[in-house]
Amino acid sequence: MAYPKNYRYTREHEWISVEGNIGSIGITDYAQNSLGDIVYVDAPKVGDTVTANATFGSVESVKAVSDLYSPVSGKVTAVNEALKTEPDKINQDAHGTWIIKVELADPGDVAGLLDAAAYEAFVAEETT
C-alpha cells in the first residue's frame, strides 16, 4: 500500500492532511486492515477540542475497539456524519475517508509527525 506523500502520520496509525489551518484526520490503511470490518466510529462533536497525542474517540470492529489519537491540538470543525451509518467506508478507502476535521491550534504540531517514508518504515518494523 502506498501512503499518500502529502499526509503526515502518527505511530498510533492516524493520518492528517492539512489545507490552510484545517486538518482532516483519519486512520491508515494499515490500521483498518489490522482491525478488520469496522462497525462503529465514536467521534467528538463539532466545537469540541482535541489535544495532540490524546484520545478523541474510538473505532469498533468485529475484532476489537481501538482508541483514536489526535495528531494535533485544535477545535473540531466537522465530523464525518456518513460514518454513523456507513462506518465501513473506512475499510473501503482508509486514506480517502476522514473522521474529523480540526482547526489547528498550532500548525507546528504537524512538523513533529512522520512523513510517508518514515511511516512506511515504522509499519515495516511493526510487522516483522
Which single residue is written with the C-alpha cell 475499510?
91
The reported pTM is 0.96
What pLDDT, on a 0 to 100 scale, did the predictor assign at position 128? 74
Q: What is the pLDDT of residue 1?
A: 63
C-alpha 11: how far from chain center: 11
pLDDT value of position 76: 98
Asked whether 16 and 72 are in contact (CB, 8 A), the reply is: yes
C-alpha closest to that of 42 among 108, 106, 90: 90
* Complete domains list, the chain, with CATH: 8-106 (2.40.50.100)
Q: Give the pLDDT means over successive 10-residue stretches in the chain (128 positions).
A: 92 97 97 96 98 97 95 98 97 97 96 96 88
Which residue, 117, 96, 119, is CA-closest to 13?
119
pLDDT of residue 126: 82
Q: Partners of 75 in the beta sheet?
A: 49, 103
Phi/psi at 125 (5° precision) = -65, -40
